Amino acid sequence: LDLERIGVHESVGNVFPPAELESYLSDLPATVETVDDDGARDCDAVVTFAYREAFLDCDWIHSIQAGVDRFPFDDLEAEDVVLTNSTGIHDRTVGETVAGYLLAFSRRLHAHVAAQKEGEWEKPAWDEAFTLPGKTACILGTGTLGSGVADVVGSLGVRTVGVRRSADPVPGFDEIYATDDLLEAVADADFVIVTLPLTDETHQLVDSEVFETMREDAYFVNVGRGPIVDEHALIDALESGAIEGAALDVFEEEPLPEESPLWEMDEVIVTPHCAAFTRDYFRDVGDLVEENVGRLEDEEEFYNRVV
């Protein structure tokens, strides 16, 4: 793979200005330029947020996301295009966002912000606020996101239970269950937190049975991908009181449609797929690209290779 021209696809603008990454990578032994779909065709590699068919003309695509469910793996393989992703950089950002959700619910901060908007001085009921030490979080997925969440909420005194395909232990988790025992894992949790990738196996993994099994005072969090959850079942569970509330960063349809009842629910926090946002994002991605350019020069295997 001869790397002369690396394109920074304009779609990275969803997360940071393309020019920031372009200048961060300016010392690489290749030309780095911001490109649109057509410009990408002339590149050996492209760093991107979105997928475009034009990228099949490149040798290497780097996704600035960890989630690569939008990429057509079979087409890439058929055209001999390498795909690498950005797993490994979101532990602290997403961990802190999830800790923020948990603290908002326990200390009632979301309710206070909502009351402030109405100009209302409204104290919580005596039995609404609580503290986190001794509470249990069941974290679905024990990779970068799951471990980052376990680290940050664990430091707040929360007991962490992980769910992965095998029940093998993972550092940083107090207990691990296999996905086959998902219902058992969520049954006693105060918080159920999805950090999974979207795959054929995880599609709609969290369904009405999961919500029925959860405690009625439990909160649900999704920072993985929307379609991992049956969103209708979630809305039913919130409306019927089968669960207490939810914090959601990802949805079946994004942006979340205006008519979704989730917007109006008091015990629901909606964030616009930004759990991993940080002003350092372009640096974190740039370091991954630089690592792989170095590996290419040294004829080593790609880091974070998916296809």
Contact window for ligand 7N6 (CB under 6 A) among 24-32, 62-70, 205-213, 237-245: 62-70
Our CB check for ligand 7N6 shows the closer of 153 and 250 to be: 250
Alpha-carbon torsion, ordered 154, 146, 112, 190, to 10 deg: -70
CB 282, min distance to ligand 7N6, A: 11
Closest distance between ligand 7N6 and the C-beta of residue 254, in Å?
A: 10
In the complex, least distance from residue 302 CB atom to ligand 7N6, rounded to whole angstroms: 18
- Cα 280 versus chain centre, distance: 16
Query: Distance (Å, rounded) from C-alpha 247 to C-alpha 269?
Result: 5
Position with the least CB separation from ligand 7N6: 67
Which residue in 258, 212, 206, 223 sits closest to 153, CA to CA? 223
Count, residues near ligand 7N6 per rule CB under 6 A: 8
273 labelled catalytic:
yes
Given 108, 225, 231, 244, which residue is catalytic? 225
Q: What are the phi and psi torsion angles at 50 (to 5°)?
A: -90, 165
CB of 12 to ligand NDP, least distance (A): 14
Centroid of chain to Cα 8: 22
Which residue is listed with tokens 């980052």?
A: 148
Cα atoms found within 13 Å of the Cα of residue 132, Cβ hemisphere only: 23
Cα distance between residue 246 and residue 253, in whole Å: 17
The residue annotated as part of the active site, out of 201, 209, 254, 297, is 254
Radius of gyration from C-alpha coordinates of the chain? 21
Nearer to ligand 7N6 among residue 161 and residue 276 (C-beta): 276
Helix (H, G, I), strand (E, B) or coil at 278: coil
Do 50 and 15 touch, CB atoms closer than 8 A?
Answer: no
Q: Which residue is nearest to ligand NDP (CB)?
A: 143
Min separation Cβ 206 and ligand NDP, Å: 11
179 counts as binding ligand NDP under rule CB under 6 A: yes
Which entry of ligand NDP, ligand 7N6, none binds 198, CB below 5 to 8 A by partner kind?
Answer: ligand NDP
Query: Can residue 160 be called a binding residue for ligand NDP (CB under 6 A)?
Result: no
Q: CA-CA distance, 7 to 57, in Å (whole number)? A: 12
Is 192:138 a contact under the CB 8 Å cutoff? yes
Beta strands in 180-267 (DSSP E): 191-194, 219-222, 245-248
Q: Tokens 């969090």 appear where?
A: 221
Verify binding: residue 250, ligand NDP, rule CB under 6 A.
yes
**Contact between 15 and ligand 7N6 per CB under 6 A:** yes
15: partner contacted, choices ligand 7N6, ligand NDP, none (Cβ within 5-8 A by kind): ligand 7N6
Interface residue list for ligand NDP (CB under 6 A): 66-67, 87, 90, 94, 141-146, 163-166, 179, 195-199, 201-202, 223-225, 249-250, 273, 275-276
Interface residue list for ligand 7N6 (CB under 6 A): 15, 65-67, 86, 90, 276-277
